[in-house]
């Protein structure tokens, strides 16, 4: 039980990597939603139906 | 709320029916856990080493290594033929999908553990029967933490090309606190101490279980959206 510092560091690193990945996913999804919205707005009204 | 539970139940039922048809997951996990225990028996001289000292660690190594195989298959089966896409198109909440998968993983793992425990008792000449109640509580806490975190990371790694390598790399460092707690508690229980004297470890393991479930509920929506 003398190496809890290493355990904490490993935990911090892996949780950090997971959260970073999740944040990039959120960012990518938001970008996709914005792009979809833009396409919707640029399409002529009659082609929506 | 009832609808939510029905969704969870439907996913668990689907997984159980799929598994009952093939027994693929359960048999693989069981054989792997058995092999781990047998390898340790041959590598450790039990006439020198006390089996009560090394037994808990070996037992949990067998559970976790075998469980990782099950977790790897859990979301990979859904990815095949676009089944995950189909599940995502259902009106079920994404957290219901997570809980369904977590519970089905737990069911398979607990079944495997129930089969491994008597064999462990025979091979290591350890008396588990007189400590069965507290031991089951410890195993439940450990399995809950393993499945809560494992299901999240399995869903995360299922999108990656190197999923079979990534899951253990991500899972094991995060699981260490729960494993330490479970191994300590199992060792103390086998040594004849009451579970009430292990409140510190029970508390820490339960806290990590709650943290894993909480983080999973916060992130699963975005991970499955990918």
ipTM of the predicted structure?
Answer: 0.75
- In chain A, residues with a C-beta closer than 8 Å to the C-beta of B219 are 18-19, 22
Q: Which residues contact B80 (CB under 8 A, 6 or more apart)?
A: none
Please answer yes or no on whether A14 and B173 come within 8 Å at the CB atom. yes
**How does pLDDT run across B170-200, given as a tens digit for each residue?**
999 999 999 999 999 999 998 888 888 889 9
In chain B, the number of structural domains is 1
Please answer yes or no on whether B223 and A25 come within 8 Å at the CB atom. yes
Q: Output the pLDDT for position A48.
A: 55
Q: How far, in whole angstroms, is CA B187 from its chain's centroid?
A: 19
Q: Which residues contact B215 (CB under 8 A, 6 or more apart)?
A: B152
Structural domain harbouring B14: 2-225
**How does pLDDT run across A1-43, given as a tens digit for each residue?**
567 788 888 888 989 998 998 899 889 988 999 999 999 888 8
Q: What percent of chain B has pLDDT over 90?
A: 55
Rounded to two decimals, what is the model's pTM?
Answer: 0.89
Q: Which residues contact B129 (CB under 8 A, 6 or more apart)?
A: B121
CA distance B10 to B96: 10
């Amino acid at each position: 039980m003398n190496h809890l510092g290493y355990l904490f560091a490993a935990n911090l690193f892996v949780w950090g990597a997971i959260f970073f990945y999740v944040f990039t996913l959120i960012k990518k999804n938001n970008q996709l939603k914005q792009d979809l919205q833009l396409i919707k707005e640029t399409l002529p009204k009659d082609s929506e139906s | 709320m009832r609808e939510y539970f029905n969704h969870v139940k439907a996913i668990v039922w689907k997984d159980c029916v799929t598994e009952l048809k093939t027994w693929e997951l359960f048999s693989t996990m069981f054989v792997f856990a058995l092999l781990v225990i047998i390898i340790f028996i041959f590598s450790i001289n039990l006439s020198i080493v006390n089996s009560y000292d090394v037994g808990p660690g070996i037992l949990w190594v067998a559970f976790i290594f075998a469980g990782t195989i099950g977790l790897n298959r859990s979301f990979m089966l859904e990815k095949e033929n676009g089944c995950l896409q189909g599940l995502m198109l259902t009106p079920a909440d994404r957290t219901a999908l997570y809980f369904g998968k977590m519970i089905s993983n737990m069911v398979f793992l607990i079944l495997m553990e129930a089969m491994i425990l008597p064999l462990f008792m025979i091979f290591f000449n350890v008396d588990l029967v007189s400590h069965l109640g507290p031991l089951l509580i410890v195993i439940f806490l450990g399995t809950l933490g393993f499945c809560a975190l494992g299901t999240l990371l399995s869903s995360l790694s299922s999108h990656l090309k190197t999923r079979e390598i990534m899951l253990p790399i991500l899972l094991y460092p995060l699981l260490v606190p729960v494993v330490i707690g479970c191994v300590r508690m199992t060792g103390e229980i086998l040594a004849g101490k009451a579970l009430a004297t292990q409140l510190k470890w029970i508390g820490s393991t339960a806290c990590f279980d709650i943290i894993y479930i909480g983080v999973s509920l916060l992130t699963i929506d975005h991970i499955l959206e990918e």
